[in-house]
Structure 1
Amino acid sequence: MTLNLTKAIVHNEGCDLHYWHQGTGPLITFVPGGNGHGRQYYPIMNALSHKFTCVTFDRRQMSASKVKVNKKLSPPQQARDIRAVILAMGHDKSIIFGSSSGGIFSFQFAHDFPQMVDHLIAHEAPTSCLLPDASEIFDWSLHLVEVYETRGLEEADEEFSASLEGYDAEGVPPCATPEPWNKQNFWDNEFPILLGYVPNLWRIRENGTSIGLMRGIRCKDASFARATNEQEKVLGCPRFDVPGHHQGFEVEIEAFLPYFLDMLDTLEKRKKGHTD
């Protein structure tokens, strides 16, 4: 199917959220992570739009969804932005896919609006404070904040990017490049908030929300990949090792897509009470 996106805007809490959608059928909402822009999801949306309505958006203060004055990240506000996009699409619930910090915002959405979640798939949400080596990771993250504040964005981003395994693997295409102000907003307003933020996963499990987890095999033992194992212990939900690096859903779509569909099928069977 040829990419044929419809663009729209919904205003929510002082921000014009720019969103794009395509297809017909049950709604899947794709939530961006720290890079902020929705176009990383265009390939998977195009592949799925023959049987799903697919929507993504630029998160507030990122790409097209700019505001006059940037503010510190609020994960609950990010969840309300997801809700605004879903409602603007004319739906009262959605399948949710969120990667990286988009997975954290998706967990937050499931916590705050459980009745609006059909299924949720979190791809390498970086809840590093759940890990056995959480103290070391937290100290390293604080070090990155200090590097940013004293030596600037380029050096902080270079050191941070070194933790992203698999992007330079042979034959793996490059990812879509975010606008330059996205990185500035990420380091100014998002990274310091995300250091230890974890939505209440225990409450999400109590609510019986349908959740699946994904860990990219190219990421090896990166903290955000290992975090999925700890999330599985808390949530008691399916977890798949899937092709690709931290953005494998974007650049290795042919290998990734069968796992995505298998996860949806697994979650649907569990929801209906089947265990086979």
Structure 2
Amino acid sequence: MATGRTLGVVTNEDCDLHYWYQGSGPLITFIPGGNGCGRQFFSLMGALSDRYTCVTFDRRQMSASKAKVNKRINPMQQVRDVLAIVKALGFEKSIFFGSSLGGLLAFMLAIYYPQKVEHLIAHEAPTYTLLRDADIIVDKVLSCLDVRDEQGVPAAAQAFHDNLLVGYDDDGVPPASPMPPDDAVNHWTNEIGIFSFPVPDLRRIVENGTSVGLMTGLRSRDVWYARATYEQEKILGCLRMDVPGHHQGFECEMQTFLPSFLQMLELLEQRKHGRS
């Protein structure tokens, strides 16, 4: 059965970035989080493709976007990767949706390339060093890295799931797409230690006047990455919405997530044009 998606490849800084796009209209770019793969957004893209051009991709060193040699993640390089895909599609600007680590990349886009951002939606970007109990979260993350060193990546990923994620095991919630073993190794070797601690200077986003919306998953309850969105809201003074699902609710419960996503886009448009 035809999906309507088209595969594209653009080479940026020695990596062939694989991306998938469909639809017509304004561009929405979906930035993957720590799991790195774009397929988690395919259902949402299909539901939006009657009114938007939608694109997602496998991040550098993940899934189809293999690098010649895997290296420690360079966040600004990953931002440039996103912009290379937007340019390859012939757009000057995009709406950006980023979840988790993808939300951090979206924040960085808004800080350093505000002219490229039509709207930014960050879904549970884990800026946990803004929290009062950040020391406890740091200890938990570092303990997972210890598990990685002592027992390997699968054990570390399980420890992270058990101690740092909420909502995935709720009754009736479909499972998220599994993370390929090679991607898990790359994430736990080259990414998580770098993205666990720095917080982008959100004040710069305010200075740039960028249109921003924040999303907090209802199934995430009071877990650390959900509470981080409230701290982001205080700094940014922007719209924040409680939305269905957990940290990957846009994939696992897409049909209930979709109306909130469309509402967020509508509200951001109204605010941008001075309508309440």
TM-score class normalised by the smaller sequence: over 0.9
Distance 1:227 1:74 in 2: 23
Distance in 1, matches of 2:7 and 2:117, equals 23
Corresponding residue number in structure 2 for 1:48: 48
Match of 1:66 in 2: 66
**Structure 2 counterpart of 1:259, one-letter code:** S
Conserved in 2, the CA contact under 8 Å of 1:7 and 1:18? yes
Residues 193-272 of structure 1 correspond to what in structure 2 (within 5 A)? 193-272=194-273
Shift of 1:184: 0.4
Q: Distance in 1 between matches of 2:176 and 2:143?
A: 27
In structure 1, the residue matched to 2:8 is 8
Is the Cα contact below 8 Å between 1:24 and 1:53 reproduced in 2?
A: yes
50-59 or 168-177, which moves further after superposition?
168-177
Give the TM-score normalised by the residue count of structure 2: 0.97
Q: Give the direction of change, closer, same or farther, for the CA distance of 1:2–1:221 in structure 2 (3 Å limit).
A: farther
CA deviation vs aligned residue, 1:130-164 (integer Å, no higher than 9, x gap): 11111121122122212211221122111101122
For residue 258 of structure 2, what is the amino acid of its counterpart? L
Report the equivalent of 2:146. Answer: 146
How many residues end up aligned between the 2 structures? Answer: 275
Aligned CA-pair RMSD: 1.2
Output the CA distance in 1 between the equivalents of 2:265 and 2:2.
Answer: 23
CA contact (8 A) 1:79 1:112 kept: no
Equivalent positions of 1:26-37 (< 5 A) are 26-37=26-37
Q: Aligned partner of 2:255: which letter?
A: E
Letter in 2 for 1:84: A
Question: Normalized against structure 1, the TM-score is what?
Answer: 0.97
Note closer, same or farther for the CA distance 1:2–1:167 as it changes in structure 2 (3 Å cut): farther
Q: Which moved more, 1:25-34 or 1:136-145?
A: 136-145
Please give the alpha-carbon distance, in whole angstroms, between the structure 2 residues aligned to 1:197 and 1:183: 21
Gaps of 5+ in 2: none
Q: Give the structure 2 partner of residue 135 of structure 1.
A: 135
Query: What are the superposed Cα offsets for residues 59-103 of structure 1, whole Å, 9 maximum, x if unpaired?
Result: 000000011211111111111111001001100100000001000
How far apart, CA to CA, are the structure 2 residues paired with 1:16 and 1:222?
Answer: 36
Report the Cα offset of residue 178 of structure 1. Answer: 2.6
* 1:120–1:2 Cα change, 3 Å: farther
Once the two structures are superposed, residues 6-48 of structure 1 have per-residue CA deviations (whole angstroms, 9 ceiling, x without a partner) of 0010000110000000000000000000000000000100000
Paired AA for residue 124 in structure 1: E
Residue 78 of structure 2 corresponds to 78
The 1-side partners of 2:62 and 2:68 are apart by 12
Give the aligned residue type for 2:37.
H
Contact 1:28 1:97 in 2 (8 A): yes
- Find the counterpart in structure 2 of residue 188 from structure 1: 189
Alpha-carbon displacement from aligned partner over 1:187-213 (angstroms, at most 9, x marks no partner): 001010012121111111110000000
Deviations along 1:107-139, whole A, 9 cap, x unmatched? Answer: 111111100000000000001101111112112
**Cα deviation digits, residues 213-241 of structure 1 (max 9, x gap):** 00001011111111100000011100000
Structure 1 runs (4+) deviating above 3 angstroms are none
Alpha-carbon deviation of 1:2? Answer: 6.3
Distance across 1 between alignment mates of 2:104 and 2:91: 22
For 1:218, what is the secondary structure of its paired residue?
helix
Matched to 1:120, the amino acid is L
CA contact (8 A) 1:166 1:245 kept: yes
Percent of aligned pairs with the same residue? 57
Contact map agreement 1:63 1:178 (CA 8 A) in 2: no
Q: Tell me how far apart the structure 2 counterparts of residues 3 and 117 of structure 1 sit (CA, whole Å).
A: 28
